[in-house]
Structure 1
């Protein structure tokens, strides 16, 4: 199945082409699969109810939070791995660096084999929408750059 894309104009922020505007592709989403629908889809392929699936996913979220806070990489089988990453300001000397230079933490997802295969075998087709001046901001929890 081909992934639809559309184009957006973005200003280059660094390098030789700084302040020039170029056209880039972004994946076009066609909707949202919320937790309720995801639980129904999973329960349709198994012998557990959608409430049981939700309970397991809630437990997974709790356990992942606990393990990530402990500094562990969380391996979730074929789904993939999750780990924390930090962004910080630089310091000229190690002695000058302290925790106040850390700006934020991010959760990084590295997909498992089947999701990497989906990513690597993706084909692309243009959507009918013309160039957009600015890319839309994805909803929390989503994003086009996960895979």
Structure 2
């Protein structure tokens, strides 16, 4: 199923753009959210585990991942991918001037998708949802040049 998007007009922030210039950008149209419970039930249906077992596994997994990430370790989650801590800071002119308490930025977590998720990303397609105010006519959505 393609990801639906609509076109929205926003200010043109590109270098040298004239004052008041705008461009149209793709904005995703709200997709369905799969609940944690639904995900656990789906996994349970394909395994010998119960939904409660799957939930318990995710709970333990997040606790252990959190500990390892806090300790600066990357965590490889099989086909899901790898999570690793990322850090940044403001710059100092000399090593002596660098102050950890004031110059370190809030740490982040970088996610690098595994092969299966990367393949899913490469297979994503898009279809444009037309604004109801746009003129009617043209070709049906299935033949739309806006679908890739």
After TM superposition, the score normalised by the length of structure 2 is: 0.75
Give the structure 2 partner of residue 117 of structure 1. 119
* Alignment partners' CA distance in 1, 2:12 and 2:93: 27
Residue equivalent to 1:78: 79
Q: 1:43 to 1:73 in 2, by over 3 A?
A: same
Higher RCO (CA-CA < 8 Å; seq separation 6+): 1
Q: 1:41 to 1:9 in 2, by over 3 A?
A: same
Greater C-alpha radius of gyration: 2
- Write the distance in 1 (CA, Å) between the matches of 2:75 and 2:53: 22
Q: Secondary structure at the match of 2:34?
A: coil
Q: What's the RMSD between the two structures over aligned residues? A: 2.5
Q: Does 1:31 align with 2:9?
A: no
1:107 to 93, 97, 109: 109
The residue that corresponds to 1:138 in the other structure is: none
Q: 1:9 to 1:106 in 2, by over 3 A?
A: farther
Q: Which runs of 5+ in 2 are unaligned?
A: 133-148
Cα drift, residue 12 of structure 1: 5.4
CA distance in 2, matches of 1:27, 1:48: 35
> In structure 1, what is the equivalent of residue 135 of structure 2?
none
- Which deviations, in whole Å up to 9, do the C-alpha atoms of 1:19-75 show, x marking residues without a partner? 754332233332211211111111111111000000000010001000000100100
Query: What is the match of residue 43 of structure 1?
Result: 44
CA distance in 1, matches of 2:129, 2:66: 38
Q: Which has the higher strand share?
A: 1
Please, which runs of 5 or more residues in structure 1 have no aligned partner?
131-147
Structure 1 residues 15 and 38, CA gap change in structure 2 (3 angstroms):
same
Q: How many residues align?
A: 131
Residue 15 (structure 1) shift: 4.1
